Structure formats: C-alpha cells, structure tokens
Amino acid sequence: MFCKANESGYKTPVDGIRQKTLVYGDKTLLCEFRLDKGARLPRHSHPHEQSGYLVSGALRLAIGDDLFEVGPGDSWTIPGDVEHGADVIEDAVAVEVFSPVREDYLP
C-alpha cells in the first residue's frame, strides 16, 4: 500500500483534533494527527498498542499515572489497555502506529 501526501481524508474525532489513516497492513496501521492548541484528548484506553512520534508542536501526554512534556522529535509507546490522554500546548502534528490494526480507523 502507498499513500501520496494530500489534504483530504481527515476525520475529527474530538474538537481540535484531526486524524487521518495513511497506510495499513495486516498487523499495523499508521495515522497522522493534526492537533490544535488548546484541544484536549480525553483519557481513554483501547486494546491496541500505540507508538507515536511528535513531528512538530508541543503536548502534555498522560500515560497511566505518568505525565510527559512532549516536543518535536520525542516518541512514546502506550501498551494496550493503558489509559492515556493529551493536552495540546502548541499546534502539533503527530504520527502514530497502532497494532493490531484499528478497525475503527480503516478508511
């Protein structure tokens, strides 16, 4: 599968947060998130392992009981079923991989 960069296909799961599935295979799914300053991703959990990389901006990321100040170039992994959420400190772009594939994120 190949995805050419384009501006279409974004969904808005939460106000101020746009999500787009870029590519996926049998075991992983890659998403881009565009996050607006002041947006909040409420704490939640899901069975998927999630690894991410912050391309630009700034976040305050909660993973379980831990809180992280995240800047460009920082990365993380969230085990499945661990509660997590984020506050967007500056407009941000993040790229995340989910395993297994999130059926709810398939185009």
Q: Is residue 107 over pLDDT 90?
A: no
Structure confidence by residue, pLDDT tens digits, 90-99: 999 999 999 9
Tokens of 56: 């630009």
Residue 72 has what pLDDT? Answer: 98
pTM: 0.94
Structure confidence by residue, pLDDT tens digits, 38-82: 999 999 999 999 999 999 999 999 999 999 999 999 999 999 999
Domain boundaries, the chain: 21-92
What are the CB-based long-range contacts (under 8 Å, 24+) for 17-20? Answer: 17/41, 17/88, 19/105
Residue 29 has what pLDDT? Answer: 98
CATH no. of 21-92: 2.60.120.10
